[in-house]
Structure 1
């Protein structure tokens, strides 16, 4: 009898363990791992670009708004020139959070099977244009021409290739990739005839190299709204250090508030950062034009992400659309917004799998 009772208990334990394991898998594997708040992190490694489309990041860094909120957590900012490089750093574990374009943000989520990163806030909407030589007046005029984007698979690269496909011009236009500063020089020399660029580079080509706007990407989205820059964080970092993530988000809220209440001060902060990072500040006409083309916003416009994922397929950058269900985790942001008496941001269903 004693032996039978032991065997019965063992079988029951095994069945319960099996059911528990099935339940974890059914609910999404690692997503069900219990969150253990380890308190404030010792360090936050933050990625960003030296672009006006990353104005919120630049303001937060220049004005010390992130550092102030982070307190004893050491802030280590790292500059990147394009999204795919930053994705590699996030997935490789050498970066904790990053301001990044929507295209690479989706790629980071897809490459890790929805595990490694989470979308936690917006930063910038708008601010990307297809600028062309003065004698190009229609999409068909681009046939046989060279069009530049910042990097293969980055946000503007996807936008350009999707637009070319929609216009029936896929394969008719030479698409190449250059760093933004090199694109400006190549356009001035006549080596390239068009470029799909983020701000301030589209404005620099217009004001410094005689380009004109053929397409403002705002024209391609409902209500002119599309996410150019968002903030993502490593999932494990979010679980381990929710207080630190909230502190980062409070700094972001303060940076965007400053841009809204003190435009000249915010522009000066961005320009100072750009000079430190690139060796050159923007002229007043350039930064004014670039600023007019962007909207700093905490809203990542999550409802556009399924379409953005499909656009990458249309563009030929990916073979299948990434499943972005469950990508957004705006709980930390909305906690901060409630504490500040501000309206919460809608995840548009992207918080559920």
Structure 2
């Protein structure tokens, strides 16, 4: 009888331990891995993409479980065409280009904001001997911009309109940044719209003068650029992109250390130390701010670059909406 009770006791203990083991295992669900371990990201302007570049070079993404490969974009590259051809998974582009494409039917998903303008980070410039010293002086100025109907067109129109110029009388000429000083010198254009680091380089090497700050008034603290992918890629890789957004937010924090950004510029933007120390920096958002992005879409509509109002929130993954 005593033996029988001991056997029942042992059996109860075994069953109890087994149930505890099952319970413990059920309390530790495994997180599904990202669909892709490697993302190819197209990057452009080194100032605007500095934190991402630093995050990749310092191994932040790799330690977070994602291998990010950077592909350099030139001024001749079409970032949206590269997305469509699947040459890159995520691409850096200015917000005006992205919003115009979205309005024309391209299904895009914004994965994060890259850069917001700060004082002096984009401006209309002239050369020292130019008679064009007041933005309102010429009723029909010729302005060099790197792309037609892009960020330069939008913000230059805003700055000149504030100075009393009829936007419809402005002539925009598409000229790459490295050709703008020569276009100014030859008289081909009256002023050129530049961003950093081209702006500071033109000032240092050619004595360029700021005619109008394009990060002022209606375009103060203006969203300039973002990272985007196709909606199709977003739907197929939700965990991968959620991890990318999480790590991007962490690396964007590096942008708050302006000293670190400036110290990195000589290597990532091919600048000398003096020029890098003088570059005007904006800010690097750690989260998508829909109201801020809506300013871009609304200004585009007001300028005639969009025929209808675009809802910026429709381009943001639902989990990222505030």
Normalised TM-score (structure 2): 0.75
- Quote the residue 1:282 is aligned against: 271
Where structure 1 has 5 or more consecutive residues not aligned to the other structure, the ranges are 1-36, 275-280, 333-346, 349-353
Q: Could you give the per-residue CA deviations for residues 125-160 of structure 1, whole angstroms, max 9, x where no partner exists?
A: 113222223432222334454311111122122222
- How many residue pairs match? The answer is 285
Query: Computing the radius of gyration over CA atoms, which structure comes out larger, 1 or 2?
Result: 2
Of residues 233, 245, 252 in structure 2, which corresponds to 1:249?
A: 245
- Quote the residue 2:143 is aligned against: 147
- Quote the residue 1:161 is aligned against: 157
- Quote the residue 1:308 is aligned against: 296
- Quote the residue 1:220 is aligned against: 217
- Quote the residue 1:119 is aligned against: 110
Structure holding more helix per residue: 1
Give the superposed CA RMSD: 3.0
Distance in 1 between residues matched to 2:273 and 2:185, nearest whole Å? 20
Go from structure 1 to structure 2 and tell me whether the alpha carbon gap of 1:312 and 1:259 turns closer, same or farther (over 3 Å shift).
closer
Go from structure 1 to structure 2 and tell me whether the alpha carbon gap of 1:270 and 1:285 turns closer, same or farther (over 3 Å shift).
closer
Contact 1:131 1:213 in 2 (8 A): yes
Of residues 105, 128, 132 in structure 1, which corresponds to 2:98?
A: 105
- Quote the residue 2:261 is aligned against: 266
Matches within 5 A, 1:128-207: 128-134=122-128, 135-164=131-160, 167-188=164-185, 190-207=187-204
Distance in 2 between residues matched to 1:298 and 1:146, nearest whole Å? 37
SS in 2 for 1:112: coil
Q: Could you give the per-residue CA deviations for residues 228-267 of structure 1, whole angstroms, max 9, x where no partner exists?
A: 1222222232232233223323432343333434x44433
Normalised TM-score (structure 1): 0.69
Of residues 52, 69, 86 in structure 1, which corresponds to 2:47?
A: 52
Q: Could you give the per-residue CA deviations for residues 94-121 of structure 1, whole angstroms, max 9, x where no partner exists?
A: 33212221111212322336xx211232
Distance in 2 between residues matched to 1:304 and 1:258, nearest whole Å? 21
Distance in 1 between residues matched to 2:92 and 2:307, nearest whole Å? 25
Contact 2:83 2:230 in 1 (8 A): yes
Where structure 2 has 5 or more consecutive residues not aligned to the other structure, the ranges are 1-31
